[in-house]
Structure 1
Amino acid sequence: MLVDIVPVGDLPAEVKRKASAGLRTVYDCEVTVHESQPIPSGAFDANRNQYRAEDFIELASRVGSGEKNIAVTAKDLFYRKRNYVFGLAYLDGNGSVVSTYRLQTSSDGGFSERDADEIFGDRVRKEIVHEIGHTLGLEHCDNNRCVMNFSPTVREVDVKEETLCGSCQRQVL
């Protein structure tokens, strides 16, 4: 499987490296990094001061060259009535998106003594693996340690591991 990471807007090289590493480690797949794309026109919702996640998925699907394509952006995303999303993917689709905007909280709430850059890198890897998991047909998992567990806050992201539980792994690998 080839996964194409599609950077949207300004995205640090370190984020691209973390995303690639997470995908290669969990899915043992090929990963390419697409040339950076501009923010999709019309994606910004002035009333919310956020961007529509679906527009980024559509962009990744359209320009990505992989079997699975994931847009990665530093912009704050929302989906329908949710206040925000870390990412979004359609089950069994070929496009997805992750936003680093809300993953950049400086602390993990005392969960560990690690520095903010290390915590941020872990969150990026987990969310990338999570969204690609949805494109592979995985739904949210009840195991709170599994990367496919639903994580509405960074605290829940920090608690889960960067890997699939045995049940999720058997479904896709």
Structure 2
Amino acid sequence: MALFPPERRPTVDVVALGDVPSRAVATARTTVEETVGTVAGTRRGPPPAEVAEPTPAEFAADDQYDAGSLLEAVADASEADLAVGLTDVPVRHRDLTSLFGLGYVGGDVAVVSTYRFDEGEDERFDERVAKQVRKQLGRLFGLESTHEGCVLEEAPFLHRLDESAADFCTDCRERLVDPETAPRPPEWIVRDSPTVADADADGNGGASDDDLDLSLRTLPLLAVGVAVLPLVALARGVARLSAWESTLPAGVRRLIHGSYRYLRFWTAVALFFLFALLAVLAELSLYERLAGSEPGVRLFWGMLVVALGSGYLGQRWARGLVVGAYRVFAYEP
């Protein structure tokens, strides 16, 4: 039974990276429909070798492809709310090799590797794909807990994967369907689930958007305190607009989401240059006050490097402030 009612379902894409078995794509789409209630779109992404260099691993016989690069390729190929990539190459994340899958906890992209799924009993191939797709969807919805009797259970080896549950346990399912905690647009994560910062030490990685986001999205709220209170009405208005947008046809939503990503990118670029310019001006002004002269060429280039770093951190801080305020004030307590 699908988790979400028809009026509140995210759009989902299944993205094939390279030469992926058609049965894997079909199984992934069926799993998405059974889990979410959404008919998944299909997208063709680049072959893994075009986006990541295979690297040897100490404890793996085959060269491994970096999961982060594959996740970026999945994100670039999709304009849906969520996207699950499929690849037939071995995948690694940091020191973890030959992963079955990896997804951002509370993020919007995941990748599943079918590289080892045809070992042993071939008839279990579809079951393995379905378990990993459902698990990664759970990750994207914000379920970071790992326990027995649930599709989220640790399964670093094929026999453990085959023995694991094929669906969410009662507790996880209740968190996904309970009106108080159920994922809502536009972020589609369970409300009581914080983003975690690393992958499981098994073959089923789960990772955060990145380690920096967690602090930059929360610390600004502590610094500005009541200064963000005027954003309450705006944040709740955006939440209601997002809820209405989730009822639109998938094609219209893809156009809206594509436009949003385009606007978000160029806003980040503009903020970067703005903060960098302000940093340069502040540095020059401070130096002239202290030294009484203009800085030399070498010192100016050093100031420019510092300003570029300030521009990057500044735009992340500004974006984090908006996202943090939205998360706090978007919904009525």
TM-score by shorter chain over 0.5: yes
**Helix, strand or coil for the counterpart of 1:26?**
helix
Give the Cα separation in 2 of the matches to 1:54 and 1:104: 24
CA deviations on 1:72-115 (whole Å, 9 max, x unpaired) are 000010111113210001111111100000122123xxxxxxxx
Deviations 1:37-94 (A, max 9, x none): 3225351233331101111111111221210111100001011111321000111111
Q: Please give the residue correspondences for 1:4-153 in structure 2 after superposition, counting only pairs within 5 Å.
A: 4-39=13-48, 41-48=50-57, 49-107=63-121, 116-117=122-123, 119-142=124-147, 144-153=148-157
Deviation at 1:133, TM superposition (A): 0.9
Residue identity matched to 1:134: R
**Structure 2 match to 1:113:** none
Which residue pairs with 1:166 in the alignment?
Answer: 170
Structure 2 vs 1, CA of residues 132 and 40 (structure 1 numbering), >3 Å: closer, same or farther?
farther
TM-score (structure 1 length as normaliser):
0.87
Q: Deviations along 1:119-147, whole A, 9 cap, x unmatched? A: 111000000111111011011331x2211
Question: RCO (CA 8 Å, sep 6+): is it higher in 1 or 2?
Answer: 1
2:204 aligns with none
For residue 36 of structure 1, report the CA deviation from its aligned partner. 4.3
Assess if the C-alpha contact under 8 Å between 1:145 and 1:161 holds in 2.
yes
- Percent identity reads 25
Specify the code of the residue in structure 1 equivalent to 2:113.
S
Structure 2: gaps spanning 5 or more residues: 1-9, 58-62, 178-333
Task: Give the CA deviation at 1:4.
Answer: 0.3
Q: Distance in 2 between matches of 1:61 and 1:172?
A: 23
Structure 2: how far apart are the matches of 1:46 and 1:6? Answer: 23
In the alignment, is the contact (CA less than 8 A) between 1:40 and 1:56 conserved in 2? Answer: no
Partner residue in 1 for 2:158: 154
TM-score by length of 2: 0.47
- Secondary structure of the residue aligned to 1:34 is strand
Rg comparison, structure with higher value: 2
CA contact (8 A) 2:45 2:73 kept: no
Structure having the larger proportion of residues in helix: 2
For 1:169 and 1:29, the matched residues in 2 are separated by 17
Q: Distance in 2 between matches of 1:45 and 1:101?
A: 14
Q: How large is the RMSD of aligned CA atoms in angstroms?
A: 1.5
Q: Which residue identity is paired with 2:156?
A: P
Q: Would you identify which runs of 4 or more consecutive aligned residues in structure 1 move more than 3 Å?
A: none
8 Å CA contact 1:40–1:59 kept in 2: the answer is no
1:45 & 1:16 partners in 2: Cα distance? 23
Amino acid at match of 1:92: G
- Shift in Å, 1:161: 2.4
Tell me which amino acid in the other structure corresponds to 2:161: V
AA matched with 2:74: A
- In the aligned structure 2, how far is the partner of 1:7 from the partner of 1:89? 15
SS of 1:75 mapped into structure 2: coil
Code of the aligned partner of 1:63: A
